Structure 1
C-alpha cells in the first residue's frame, strides 16, 4: 500500500483553498532557524527513580551530620570538675599535665602548649608563670602571674578567662595574646573575636584588631592597632586625667585632632566611660565618624549618663556574635 502525500505534513504539497488560507494567516508565526544554527540533543533525562534515591541519600547524609554535631558539641564542652589539662612541652622538665592549684613555669628557653579542657589551647611562651585556678564544664579559669600567653578558644562566651591580679580577662569566643610583668602591668592584643576585661567593677569590651593596656588597679581605653602614636598618647593622657577627676584644657581637642576612622571604637569607649565628655568636642567627632547627626537632646542625655542614649550609638558598632558556633573552624586549629 502506497501512502498518498499529505499537504498537512508536507509544505511542498499544495492543499485545498481552506488549508492555503490558514497557511497564509499563520505564516507570520512560523519559526525559521538561522542557517548556522546547530541543533544539539537535549539534556539526558534522569530516571525518576534515580533522582528520588539521590534525594533520599542526601537527606540521610544531612541527618547523620546533624546527629554527629549534636553529639560532638556537648561532648567537647563537657569537662569533669578538677580534671587535669594536658601539656605539650618542648622540654622534658615541664609536667605532662596541669592540675587545679598547680603552677607551670617556662624558663627563658622553654615553651609549652596547654590544652584548655576540650575547648581550645594556650601557648605558654618563654619566661612565663601560670596557675590553674578552676576547671569544670562551662567554667575554666587560669591565672597569669607573669610572662606572655596566646589563647585560642572555641566555646560560648564566658567559658574561659584569665585572671591577672585583681583583673580578669573573659573570652567571648576569640583568639588573643596577653602579657603581664611582675609589677602587674600588662597588655592584651585581640586578633579575632572579642574579650571582656574586668577590674574593680569596670568592664571594657575589646574587639579584634585592638590592644588594651592595664595595670594592677585599672584598664585603659582599647586602641586600634592602626591608631597613630599621637592619638594613643592623647587618649592615655585624657583617660588618666579623667580617672583622677581632672578635665585639663586642650586634652579633648588633642584627641579629636588625631582621631581617624579606625579610632571610632576608642572614642565610643572613652565617651561611655566618661559620659560628661559628651559636652565637649569628642561627641561631634564620633558622630562624624559614625555618620550620625549631632542631636542636642541625645547629647544632653548622654552627658547625664543615659544608657539608652549610649546604646543607640553602640548599636552602630558590630558586637560579639551570639552564634559563636558559626566560627567552627576555630575548633580544629
Structure 2
C-alpha cells in the first residue's frame, strides 16, 4: 500500500522521463484483454492423466515389495525343536507334534500337519510319521509306514522325509509319498522336484513323474504318461544293470517304446549306467534332444562316464535348484 499517488501504481498519472522511456521500450510486450474479459489466471502445472495411475501402481508395488521382504524371512525362520501344529477332526489325535513324537492315524482318521511355516503335510488314514528334527532351514520327519501328501514353499533342502536308510528331499514342490512296512514305496511329484537318496545314490524326480524305491535302492523315474509295458522294461533293465548284467534285447525294447515324454527316464538310465551309451538308447536319446546324427566323440565320452559330456544334455533340462519362489501357488495350497 502507498501513502501518495504513484505513476507505478496508477498509469493515468504522468511519470518522470526515465519511467516514460521504460514504458516506451516495454510497451510492445503489454497485454490488454478484450473488452468485457477478465484477466486470466496464470496456467497451473498439471501432471498428465496417465501419471496418476502409474504413480498409484508404483506405490502398490513398493508396498508389496516391502511386505514380502518382511514376510519371507518370518516364514522361513523357526525356533529349534518348536512344536508343529496339527489340524484334525479325530479326537484321539494330538493338536501338536513335537520332536521325537509319533503321529499315527487309524483307518478312518486324517490329519494336516503344519510344517513349521513353510508348508503343510496331509497324513492319510493308516499312517505313522515321526518328527525327527525342526529348526530354521532344516525340517525332517520319518515316514514309518502309510501315505502322506506334502506341499512346501521354501528353498531346496529345507524339508525332507526319511524312510529307513533313504531320504526324500524337497527341492521346492508338492509331492505324495507312500511306504509299507517292508520299506518299499512310491513318490509322485506334482510340482517342482524332489531328490531321493539311498546308499549314496541320488535320483532326481521332476514334476509329472513318479519313482519306486525299496529299503536299499531307488528305481528310475517314470513319467505319469509312461505305458505299462515301457515301465516294466525300464525296471527290468535297471535291475539287470545293477547286477552287472547287460540285456541288449531289453535295451532295444526300451528304445523302441520310449516316447518324447520319456526323455527324462532315458536320460537317467544312461546317466546311471554310462555303458548303455554303446547301445540303442544313446541314438534314441540324441533324437529326443534334436540331434538326428549322433556325435561319435560325445558318445565315446559318455561311455567313459564324462560328466562334461552328460551335462551337454542335462543342461537342456530345467533342473533344480529351481527358482522355487516362482511356484508361489504352493504357498497358497
- 2: distance between equivalents of 1:208 and 1:181? 23
User: What is the aligned-residue RMSD (CA, Å)?
Assistant: 1.5
Residue 258 (structure 2) pairs with residue 269 (structure 1): no
CA distance in 2 between partners of 1:124 and 1:94 (Å): 11
Aligned residue for 2:183, secondary structure, equals coil
CA distance in 2, matches of 1:241, 1:270: 12
Aligned to 2:301: 301
Question: Is 2:274 the counterpart of 1:259?
Answer: no
Match of 2:329 in 1: 329
Equivalent residue runs for 1:203-282 within 5 Å: 203-282=202-281
Task: State the distance in 1 between where 2:220 and 2:311 align.
Answer: 18
Match of 1:284 in 2: 283
Determine the structure 1 residue equivalent to 2:143: 144
Could you tell me how far 1:78 is from its partner in structure 2? 0.4
Q: Distance in 2 between matches of 1:245 and 1:75?
A: 50
CA offset at residue 331 of structure 1? 1.0
Within-5 A mapping of 1:81-120: 81-120=80-119
150 and 48 in structure 1: CA distance in 2 versus 1, 3 angstrom threshold: same
Q: What secondary structure sits across from 2:205 in the alignment?
A: strand
Tell me the distance in 2 between the aligned counterparts of 1:316 and 1:240.
Answer: 27
Deviation at 1:57?
A: 3.6
TM superposition shift of 1:53: 5.0
Aligned partners of 1:274, 1:325: CA distance in 2, in Å? 33
Q: CA deviation at 1:60?
A: 2.8
Q: Work out whether residues 172 and 324 of structure 2, in 8 Å CA contact, stay in contact via their aligned partners in 1.
A: yes
Gaps of 5+ in 1: 1-45
Q: Which has the larger radius of gyration?
A: 2
CA contact (8 A) 2:156 2:321 kept: no
What secondary structure sits across from 1:250 in the alignment? helix
Question: What CA distance in whole angstroms lies between the structure 1 residues aligned with 2:185 and 2:147?
Answer: 9
Note the C-alpha offset of 1:58.
3.3
Aligned counterparts of 1:172 and 1:206: Cα–Cα separation in 2? 10
- Secondary structure in structure 1 of the residue aligned to 2:69: helix
State the 4+ residue runs in structure 1 displaced beyond 6 angstroms. Answer: none
Q: Select between 227-236 and 310-319 the one with higher mean Cα deviation.
A: 310-319
Cα contact 2:193–2:206 (8 A) shared by 1: yes
Q: Distance in 1 between matches of 2:200 and 2:128?
A: 26
The residue number in structure 1 matching 2:185 is 186
Cα separation, 1, equivalents of 2:84 and 2:327: 23
Question: Per-residue deviation at 1:184?
Answer: 0.2
CA distance in 2, matches of 1:174, 1:99: 24
The secondary structure found in structure 2 opposite 1:91 is: coil
Q: What secondary structure sits across from 1:133 in the alignment? A: strand
Distance 2:321 2:310 in 1: 20
**TM-score, normalisation: structure 2:** 0.84
The runs of 5 or more residues in structure 2 that have no matched partner are 1-44
- Under a length normalisation based on structure 1, what TM-score does the superposition of the two structures give? 0.84
CA distance in 2 between counterparts of 1:49 and 1:255 reads 66
Q: Residues of 2 paired with 1:176 and 1:61: CA distance?
A: 34
Per the alignment, in what secondary structure is the counterpart of residue 142 of structure 1?
Answer: strand
* Equivalent pair of 2:192/2:324 in contact (CA under 8 Å): no
1:316 maps to which residue? Answer: 316
Shift of 1:256: 1.1
Q: CA deviation at 1:218?
A: 0.1
